[in-house]
A and B are shown apart, each in its own frame.
Chain A
């Protein structure tokens, strides 16, 4: 998948724009690097969360794509401090919530328990993001209306409330996996140097999509 297509896909699957800031005019001057606690234990946890979202099947899953390490780099370098905070608190919240529901830690649980719990989070995140969108909409529209009446120099891009932390985890898993070596070459197919273009190639249902 081309990068732009991939971003669209991730947005579609997680019900919102891809986190990491696509603001064009203002609000993009954060430069602080927050330590969001990417300990080896947390990275293992993120690997398992990723693996629950994209598991190994006939091809390797997110853990094999070192998804925890990817999340560390991406969140640390590309997220705003505000989104980093949501992510960081969310990872703690996920562990607490899981323990309460299952009487054991996420790491100790079975794949099925993990899967079921993430499904509840999926629903929670959807509800959260829907409510967020509803609350943000009038404010966004008010800002857009204001922008249309004032000098371009005074215009601001409306920055809504952050997404649910689970949305971040799912986005990062999909982004990281489908741009990883295993994702691009085993789950999808990839040719580094095609050498030519053929615009009329037979395709049979079940064949893999091109990675780019």
Chain B
């Protein structure tokens, strides 16, 4: 095998790229994984993870210089001294906002698998049928039963903790024991369970392991996941898929390799490889392979397809349907409510959980009231006693103030809503060739917004949660909706959707680009609808499923 020829190329090293590399390597293929950013080694490169909180010079706060360098990251809560090195310097990699779009990017080994929410829920049958039933978007080419065995498969390896709740619209999985609920949450769950049409408050299902798993130590309840975990307590490329892929001796990793194009052979109607811009020597290299997995994160995978335009496909590889770059989705975020819990003054807790509770979808499910929007939403939250007593506001300075602040206040409970956003054709991204990034490449232009269904759902997310809090006896409820720029849910997806027809979708039911069947897109770009649950577990399952299909097709000489 020549130095630049492999069986498979995987573009990107995040959750999807890591899974693609692991699966293809374990099935015997020689795999090249390309990552645009620098290497970021498990444990040794988690520079802040072992520091004590007081060792941070600014105690978590970012500097004025960082505010200037990372304006997008400063729109949300992710601007924290501990993780600023993770985000891409925004001046190097600009994008154009036709409409406001908050794009959180990590350009280094492991991508956002090191910084993710870790909530891991299966989709249900209704999620895969939703587009066909209410007519938004196109029908998924697959159903729950196509993905269910792959959920089993990825859950077992990734390590998902959760309780078997036996709920009709949130399938149980292969779980480790759950991250516990505290007493306040358990009691609150009982109060809302039989209220109104019933609400299910369950343990969050998260990719934090509660038992030792492979070479990984179980979660130590430090709640510092985003800095990288030296115990491997949660699933990331570094803690899980990368070591598995490396173990096969089939993997070559090339960091600092920005893939600029997928090379397309018009006669064979297939991709032949990729063109790479080396971020160190600034030279262009070509690598060839029989199959290519595009896992560069939803919008960057779409960028790559755009930038792989040829005279055959002037709108980009996979553009023949006219859907490439369209149907941008995300999840509702930035809204919720919290309040005070009465009683429990004689209770506290121990340890810092990586997750709390999840309230499962009820809107537009059997038993629900009539709604003025389609689809649904869920909530993530927790109860804790970490605050102070309100009486300290009366204290000025000195001993009394200090002593007042040294004791905990009341318990509080709160949650944030996550809701489904529909695939609207005119929510789109495109290439803006008038703006170039640090590498002289054209950048993405974002043109997407919430529409009528989304705005109506947002009102319901807030109202319904406030009603639950009231039913649970919660006092001093503070509800908020800080608005939602697309992307802010960090669940951007849908810009190269799967479908049943090459005329209306970019990918088929096996994640193959209709126009180039040896190119597979398995990250968030492939999503045909968004459900209301966190998407990463589904990306894992779809990636493993596509890798299995790809290798079988290769063996049949079909690719």
Contact = CB atoms under 8 A, between A and B. Distances in A.
Interface of A: 1-5, 8-9, 12-13, 20-21, 24-25, 28-31, 52-55, 57, 59, 61, 70, 73-74, 77-80, 115, 118-119, 122, 152-153, 170, 174-176, 178-181, 183-184, 187-188, 190-212
A119 B407 contact: no
Interface in B150-199: 179-186
Interface in B324-364: 345-353
Contacts, number: 186
Contacts of B71: 28
Given A199-B349, A203-B348, A179 B221 contact: no
A9 B185 CA distance: 23
Contacts of A119: 396-397
Contacts of A170: 397
Given A55-B402, A179-B53, A74 B351 contact: no
Interface stretch (B20-28, B367-375, B386-394, B506-514): B386-394
User: What is the predominant secondary structure among interface residues of chain B facing chain A?
Assistant: loop
Interface of B: 52-54, 57-65, 67-68, 71, 74-75, 77, 80, 97, 99-100, 179-186, 220-223, 345-353, 385-388, 390, 392-393, 395-399, 401-403, 405-409
Nearest to A80: B64
Contact of A201 (B68, B347, B395): B347
Nearest to B79: A22
Given A193-B222, A194-B351, A203 B405 contact: no
Given A77-B64, A78-B62, A187-B406, A198 B349 contact: yes
Contact of B346 (A3, A54, A192, A202): A202
Q: Among the interface residues A53, A152, A198, which one has the most CB atoms of the partner chain B within 10 A?
A: A198
Contact of A184 (B54, B97, B181): B54
B267 to A, nearest CB: 46
Contacts of A25: 75
A170 B346 CA distance: 31
A195 B348 contact: no
Nearest to B183: A200
Given A5-B388, A21-B64, A199 B408 contact: no
Given A28-B68, A194-B352, A195-B351, 11 more contacts: A12-B388, A12-B390, A55-B398, A57-B403, A73-B58, A78-B61, A152-B99, A200-B182, A209-B405, A210-B348, A212-B352
A115 B400 CA distance: 12
Contacts of A1: 386-388
A44 B11 CA distance: 55
A70 B56 CA distance: 11
9 contacts: A1-B388, A70-B59, A74-B59, A181-B52, A197-B179, A198-B350, A198-B351, A201-B347, A207-B348
A5 B386 CA distance: 7
Given A9-B405, A28-B74, A204-B346, A77 B52 contact: no
B59 A197 contact: no
Contacts of B65: 31, 77
Contact of B221 (A115, A196, A208, A211): A196
B67 A199 contact: no
Nearest to A28: B67
Contacts of A9: 387-388, 392, 405
B386 A194 contact: no
A7 to B, nearest CB: 9
B64 A79 contact: yes
Contact of A199 (B75, B99, B182, B397): B182
A203 B345 CA distance: 7
Contact of B398 (A2, A53, A80): A53
Nearest to A15: B393
Contacts of A202: 346-348
Contacts of B406: 59, 187-188, 208-209
A79 B184 CA distance: 39
B179 to A, nearest CB: 7
B448 to A, nearest CB: 13
Nearest to A73: B57
B58 A52 contact: no
A124 to B, nearest CB: 12
A52 B53 contact: no
Contact of B393 (A13, A118, A174, A199): A13
B183 A199 contact: yes
A202 B408 CA distance: 13
A59 B345 CA distance: 24
Contact of B387 (A8, A24, A80, A193): A8
A209 B407 contact: yes
Contacts of B74: 24, 28
A137 B80 CA distance: 30
B58 A78 contact: yes
A55 B399 contact: yes
Contacts of A176: 59
B499 to A, nearest CB: 32
A77 B397 contact: no
Contacts of A196: 221, 350-351
A79 B181 CA distance: 39
B194 to A, nearest CB: 22
A80 B65 CA distance: 10
A203 B344 CA distance: 9
Given A61-B402, A209-B407, A179 B397 contact: no
A54 B395 CA distance: 12
A119 B393 CA distance: 15
Contacts of A205: 345, 407
A45 to B, nearest CB: 16
Contacts of B181: 199
A181 B388 contact: no
Nearest to B388: A9
B68 A184 contact: no
A24 B75 contact: yes
A197 B351 contact: yes
Given A57-B402, A181-B54, A201 B397 contact: no
